Amino acid sequence: MRRPVVVFASVLLLAPTVGAYPQWNLGLSLGAGAHLAPPVEREVLITAAVRTDATFGARTPYAWRAGFFGAVGTTDFVALDAAAGGVLHIPVNPTFPVLVSLGAVVDLAPTPGRPGVLGRLWWGTRSLNYHSSYGMAAGLWVEGRYRPGEGTADVLGGIDLDLRVLTLPFTLLAGWLQH
């Protein structure tokens, strides 16, 4: 038992330092979509959610980054659901990266406990903040959801707007009043 502990401690002490700088954001997701299966009377879905993600990697816009996301939202303003999973930041362009997310979704209301899986493809502008861990983002997304228990499949698309943008008018007003 003592030998594995010594090996583990040696690896921790002798390993080079790895820099995994965090970048996170908080956004409002607005979108619409349709049921793919099973067929229903009302085919159009409306969705709104608050979503956050955090990615970790080198402090450069050219680096691949990995992390996690979390979201709480509504579908058709009837159902409340939560989602969480992993996210991969692919730097196809330093200013306009692609993010791929895979995760789980579960209903919170009106019928709690309905599990499902989701996948999201996101493209847009995403700043890399060299002085803080918060980076602003805005973009377009396409998302697919599947609930195996019911056999339902949905496809959604929409926009993400950074919630920090809402504070900019107040920040500008405060700066103007100070001068």
Q: Where are the domains of the chain?
A: 18-178
pLDDT category at 7 given cuts 50, 70, 90 is: low
- 77 sits in the region (left: phi over 0; alpha: psi -120 to 50; else beta) called left
- Nearest 5°: the CA angle 70, 72, 76 is 140
- Nearest 5°: the CA angle 71, 120, 75 is 50
Cβ–Cβ under 8 Å, residues 129 and 21: no
pLDDT of residue 131: 87
pLDDT category at 161 given cuts 50, 70, 90 is: very high
pLDDT of residue 168: 85
Average of per-residue pLDDT across 152-174 = 91
The CATH number of 18-178, from 3.10.360, 2.40.360, 3.40.50, 2.40.160, is: 2.40.160
Would the pTM of this model clear 0.85, i.e. be above it? no
Give whole-number Cα distances, 174 to 24, 101, 168, 170, 171, in Å.
25, 37, 10, 6, 5
Average of per-residue pLDDT across 126-148 = 93
How many Cβ atoms from other residues are within 10 Å of residue 70's Cβ?
14
Question: Which carries the bigger pLDDT value, residue 18 or residue 31?
Answer: 31
pLDDT category at 127 given cuts 50, 70, 90 is: confident
pLDDT of residue 10: 64
As given in the structure block, the two tokens for residue 165 are 């943008």
User: In angstroms, how far is the first alpha carbon of the chain from the final one?
Assistant: 66
Q: Please state the three-class secondary structure of 24-44 as a single string.
A: EEEEEEEEEEEEEECCCCCCE
d(CA 70, CA 132): 20
* Residues forming beta bridges with residue 79, ordered by sequence position: 75
Interval 25-48: pLDDT, tens: 999 999 999 988 887 777 789 999
Interval 47-81: pLDDT, tens: 999 999 999 999 899 999 999 999 999 999 999 99
Q: Assess whether the previous peptide bond of 61 is cis (omega < 30° from 0).
A: no
pLDDT of residue 166: 81
Average of per-residue pLDDT across 97-122 = 94
Question: Which carries the bigger pLDDT value, residue 68 or residue 167?
Answer: 68
Question: Which carries the bigger pLDDT value, residue 48 or residue 110?
Answer: 48
